Structure 1
Amino acid sequence: MRLFAVLLLALLPSLGQAAFRCGTGLVDEGDWPVEVEERCGEPDYVAVYPEASLPGIGIVQTVEHWYYNPGPSSFIRRLVFRNGRLQSEDSLGYGFLPGAAGDCNPRVLNEGMSEFEVVRRCGEPLSKRVTWVASDAYSRYSERRSGLQGVYPVEEWMYEFGSNQFRRIVTFRDGRITDVESAGKPQ
């Protein structure tokens, strides 16, 4: 019996990586979005954007990030869907009370924050733009991961913090802040 318990405990980490509990059901990589929504409910935030584009063809791959906020006693979950299938799930920082006012100022915009955390704290940006890159380390990593070659998006969001402060340009790759820089003051 003791040997069985040891073997079961050794298998649990590998089983946990394949599927995870959501509500009363299990969600697994490869599930369709409708299956995930049936088990987990409607996500608290969804970000959809193109992930790969081929010159002369256009967008050939999309990604969706679904965020679930279980409240301050548990971690926020991010589910990543590529081309209509659940590819991965990861845990972020602790959740927050629904409807809680965000604390937005330039100091809270830190590398590694998710797009959901930024929108929750600061609301939608003043402006957004997507630039396409082809030859940096990020795109080489994405090419290996997706099997596609081409160009990949980098999102930039502009936030304004009042007439006495510089605007901030927040750069996202794969749904997380990679850089925050100051821009000019509002006119």
Structure 2
Amino acid sequence: MKRLLVVRFLVLLLLIATSAHAGSMRCGTYLVANGDTKADVLLKCGEPVAQSEHQEQLREGIDQAQEVRTTFVFNDWVYNFGPDRFMQIVTFMNGRVADIRSGSYGYAVNGSVDMCRDGQLLKAGDTAAEVELKCGAPVNRESRADSVIDKIDTHSSLKRTIAIEEWTYNFGPKKLILNLRFENGRLVKTETGGYGY
């Protein structure tokens, strides 16, 4: 009986330990986890190397005298811990950590390694902040916002504002122009044009 209690206790400790690290990241001796505020993350990790933002709005009470709108603000913060570790993307929803995911490998601060390779190292889902860190600022940047309204039921809908950015990179006369499309700060489309100038 005593052995069974010890086994249960050890299993419980293991479950607690693994759940504490799910959706978390380390900044030195500090642990950042879901639910932490932006201020918590800034104190634990310092300023991110890049960040982006988009919004979504939930509308309830459609076709009634009163309508309630709830806005959700999403921020992506990118942390670079060097070339031997993956960059970490912390997503906040209304100022609190909602998700933490690994990006591509980080880079040395001196920037001696070409992290862009004319766009070949970019992949769908990269954040705009990651792309700018890898490739630098584009030569042209166009922005607009589209709205999509999804009906949930007869009295509510979700209005999503899609922030669209189109970036152009010119890597010189012997390389192709690179055109990128981002939706809500995430890379969704990569195209090449003619030769640069």
| Cα distance in 2 between the residues matched to 1:92 and 1:166 | 26
* Higher RCO, Cα 8 Å, sep 6+: 2
Matched-pair contact (CA < 8 Å) for 2:168–2:177: yes
C-alpha deviation, 1:5, in angstroms:
1.9
Matched-pair contact (CA < 8 Å) for 1:20–1:26: yes
Query: Which of the numbers 39, 42, 45 marks the counterpart of 1:37?
Result: 42
Deviates more, 1:87-96 or 1:2-11: 2-11
Query: Which of the numbers 83, 89, 92 marks the counterpart of 1:81?
Result: 92
Map 1:104-119; keep pairs closer than 5 Å: 104-119=117-132
TM-score by length of 2: 0.71
| Cα distance in 2 between the residues matched to 1:185 and 1:128 | 18
* Number of residue-to-residue matches in the alignment: 173
Indicate the structure with greater helix content.
1
Q: Which residue of 2 aligns with 1:122?
A: 135
| Cα distance in 2 between the residues matched to 1:163 and 1:185 | 6
**CA 1:127/1:62 → structure 2, altered by over 3 Å: closer, same or farther?**
farther
Deviates more, 1:95-104 or 1:72-81: 95-104
Per-residue CA deviations over 1:117-151 (Å, capped at 9, x if unaligned) read 3222210111222333344xxx86xx9xxx84143
Q: Select the structure of larger CA radius of gyration.
A: 2
Matched-pair contact (CA < 8 Å) for 1:79–1:90: yes
Q: Secondary structure at the match of 1:167?
A: strand
| Cα distance in 2 between the residues matched to 1:30 and 1:133 | 29
Per-residue CA deviations over 1:54-85 (Å, capped at 9, x if unaligned) read 9xxxxx55432211111122221111123322
Which runs of no fewer than 5 residues in structure 2 stay unpaired? 1-5, 59-70
**CA 1:5/1:154 → structure 2, altered by over 3 Å: closer, same or farther?**
same
**CA 1:111/1:6 → structure 2, altered by over 3 Å: closer, same or farther?**
same
| Cα distance in 2 between the residues matched to 1:13 and 1:61 | 29
| Cα distance in 1 between the residues matched to 2:120 and 2:19 | 39
Matched-pair contact (CA < 8 Å) for 2:23–2:101: no
C-alpha deviation, 1:2, in angstroms:
3.5
Matched-pair contact (CA < 8 Å) for 1:102–1:121: no
Q: Secondary structure at the match of 1:151?
A: strand
| Cα distance in 2 between the residues matched to 1:30 and 1:3 | 28
Which runs of no fewer than 5 residues in structure 1 stay unpaired? 55-59
| Cα distance in 2 between the residues matched to 1:130 and 1:64 | 17
Which residue type is aligned with residue 192 of structure 2? S
Matched-pair contact (CA < 8 Å) for 1:106–1:161: no
Map 1:39-118; keep pairs closer than 5 Å: 39-47=44-52, 49-52=53-56, 61-103=72-114, 104-118=117-131
C-alpha deviation, 1:14, in angstroms:
2.6
Give the alignment's Cα RMSD to 1 decimal. 2.9
- Identical pairs, percent: 31
Q: Which residue of 1 aligns with 2:68?
A: none
| Cα distance in 1 between the residues matched to 2:39 and 2:10 | 36
Q: Secondary structure at the match of 1:171?
A: strand
Indicate the structure with greater strand content.
2
